[in-house]
Structure 1
Amino acid sequence: MFDIQEIRSQFSILDREVNGKPLVYLDNAATSQKPNSVLDVCHAYYTELNANVHRGIHTLSQLATEEMELSRRKIQKFINAEHDFEVIFTKGTTEGLNLISYILTQKLQKDDEIIISYLEHHSNIVPWQLLCERTGAKLRVIPIDENGILQLDYFDQFLSEKTKVVSVNQVSNALGIVNPIEEIIAKTRKNTDAYVVIDGAQSAPHFNIDVQKMDCDFFVFSGHKMYAPMGTGILYGKREILEALPPFHGGGEMIATCSFDGTTYAGLPFKYEAGTPNVGGNIALGAAVDFMNRVGHENIQNHENALLEYAQRHLLEIEGLKVYGEKAKRTGVVSFNLEGVGISSDVGMILDKMGIAVRTGHHCTQPIMEFFNIAGTVRASFAVYNTFEEIDLLVEGVKKAQRMLS
C-alpha cells in the first residue's frame, strides 16, 4: 500500500519550519531530501566502519569494501546493467559526462560531429564543446518547437557518417519534458556507429531504468537527486567500450602496475575510480536504492505524475500564468512564469517567506531560456514525499505573489 504519511515520516527534515511556516519542499529537481534510512547508513559508516576500501587487510577495510561493493551490485540491478563492473562510482552526473567526453577524445577528429539537443543542462553542453575544441569536431543541436518538444526531423538530417557521439537527456531538468530516447537511440543505431550517451539525472529518480533494453553506450546520473547524499553518482558504460578507452584520472586504485618506466591499468571498474572514493556516500547510494525499491517504482511514478497533473491544472487557473512545455509529455516538474512579473526570483522570494521552496532562474539551461526569450522561470519539482495539500499551498502562494508584484 502507498501510504504518503508513512513515507513522509521517514524524512525528518520535513518536520521543520521555514520563516515560521511548515516547510513545503518543491525543489527536488535540484536535490531531493534524504530518508532517515540513508542518513543512518552514512552515520553508521563513519562511526562503525570508517576505513579506506580495497587497500587493507584489516577488518574495517574489509567490511567497508564489502559494503561499497554490495552497493555497486544494488545499483547494477537498479539500472539492469549486465555486469557490476560496468557501474562506475562518480561525484555525480557532471563528472560522469566530463569523464565520457574526455576519454572519447582519441575517437574524434576534425569535422566529426557531436549531436546534442536544445533541452540539455549545461553539463551536457560544455563538456562536448570542450571536446570540439580539443579535436576540431563540430556540435549539432536538435531544435525544439514552441512546446519544448524535440524536432526529430532535424535529428534525421544531422545523422551521417560524421556523427560520432549523440548525447541527450532522458528528462529535461528545466521543463520536465520526457524525451523520446528510444527513438533517438534506434535512429542512431540504424544510421551510424556513434556512441550514445544518456543523461539520466532527472529520470533515475522517477523511472524504472533498464540500460540493456535502452541499448545506450553510457548512462549517467546523480545520487543526490534520488534520495542519496551529495557528491555521489554513477557512470554506466558497456564493458567492451570502457575496456577499450583510456582512463580519466591517474593515481591510486586505477593501476595494475606502476613504475617509472610505465604504468598498466587496473581492470573495470577500478580503471575509472582513481583515488579514495566517497565510501560512505557510495554505500548510502545503495541505501537510497533500497528505499526506492521499498516504495516501488510504479508507486513513485504514479504519485508524482498525479502531483504534476494536479499542480498544472490548478496553476493554469491563475490568469496570466504560463506553463512552459505544457503540451509535452513531462514528469516531475512544472516550470512557469506570471505575466507582468519580470523576475522569477521575486516570486521565489515571496514563496520562501511562506515556507515554500522552489527554484528560480535559468536552471543551468540558458539556451532554453533564450529560445523562449525569458530570463528564467519558477520551477516546482516533485518527489515521492510531496502532497496535494502542498500543491494547494503553492497555488495560494503564487496568487499572493501575483497580487504583490503585479
Structure 2
Amino acid sequence: MFTTASVVLSLTTGLVAVGLAPLPSAAVTATTTTDFTSEPAEIAVPPFGATAVQADGYGLLTGTNLDAVVPIASIAKVVTALVVLEARPILNGEAGDDITFDSQDVQWLNDSVANAESRADVIEGMTLSARDVISVMLVKSANNYSRTLARWAFGSEESFVQAANDWATRQGLSETVIADSSGLSPATQSSLSDLLRIGELALDNPVTAQAVASATISVNPIGDLENSNDLLGTLGVNGIKTGTTDEAGACLLYSANLPVGDGSVRIIGVTLGAPDHDSLDAAVTQLLSSIQLGFHVVTPVRAGEALAIAETMWNTTSSLSSTETLSRVVWSSTPVIVSLPSSIGGVGETESPAGSFRVQFGDESVAVEMVRMSDMTDPGLPWRVAHLSEIF
C-alpha cells in the first residue's frame, strides 16, 4: 500500500532523475565553406625534349619517361665534382689541397680550343685550390678543368671513369653511365629520375652548392668567370648545371627556392634536348612560373572565427570557433577539407570546450579543438518533463 510519503518520495526521486539526465546533443551545421581544394595546376611543360620536376615535400610535380637513358652533356660535371669530393674531401670553409697545372693541362686547353669546347684558361705552373678548380669546372663548364680534376684525384681519366661508375652504383643511380669526366662523350648518359637525385646530392654538398649558385667567380690568375647558367636569380633559381652537345641538345639541371607566400619551396628539375639555350631558358622560366602559380597558401580555419553553429532541441544556439589558425602550402588540387562533428554537448558556457574537428591537407589530417562562442544553457525541468522520450 502506497502512502502519501512514499508517493512524494517516488515523484521527487523521479524528478531528480529527470533533472540530472543527460540532455540530447546539439546538432552542428557548418556556416562557412568546408572544401578549400584548388583547381589543378596547369604546368607549362617545355614543348621539346624531356622534363621532370620535383619539389621538397611534394614529390614529383611533372615528368614522363623518367627512366629513359639519354646523353647528359656537361651535367656530367656535377658527377665529376661529387666523385672527386668523395675521394678528396674539402671541409666546409676550406680551400682543399693545391693543384698545380703542368704541360698536360696546357695541352688539354689547346685541345679544347681546337675542338671549340667549353673551357677556361690555364697557365703552366699556376697553382689553384681544389675548391677553385671545381668551381671553375662547374661555373664555366670547362672541359679541360674536368680532365685536370680527374687526373689529380684518380691518376687518369680511365681510373676516374671506373670510380665514377662505382660511385653511381653506390648511390643507387642505376641508369647513370659515366664514360668521361666532361660529358662530351655521348656514352655518358643518365635518366631524368637519376638526374633529379644527382641534383639533390649537388645541393647537399656545400662545395658544389656554393659553386653552382655563383653567378660569377674571381680566380687568380685567370680572372673573373661568369656562370653558364643564365637563369641564376630568376624565380629563386640557385643552380645547377648547363650542358650542350649535338647528341644531348641544350640541357639544364636546375634548382630554385621558389617564392611561395611568405616562404619558399625547393624545386629540382631537369630539361634535356632543347634546340638551344635561349629556348631552354625561356621554357624553364615559363615552367617555373606555372609551378609557382600551382602552389597555394591555404588557411581553412582561423582562431576565434566562427565556422559552425550548434543548435539544441530547446532552441539554444551558439556559434563554434576554432582554437587554432591552420595554414599550409599545398600543391595543385591537393584536397583541403574541413570535417565537422555532427553534434556536440548541448550545454556549456562561452569559451567552453566543444569537441574537435579535423582538417585534411592531402595525406595530413589535423585535429583542432572548438569552443562555444556563447552560453548554451540547460532548458530547465519543465522542458525535460515535457520531453522525456528525448531524454530517456
TM > 0.5 fold call: no
Higher helix share: 1
> Which protein has the larger Cα radius of gyration, Structure 1 or Structure 2?
2
Question: If the length of structure 1 is used for normalisation, what is the TM-score?
Answer: 0.25
Higher strand share: 2
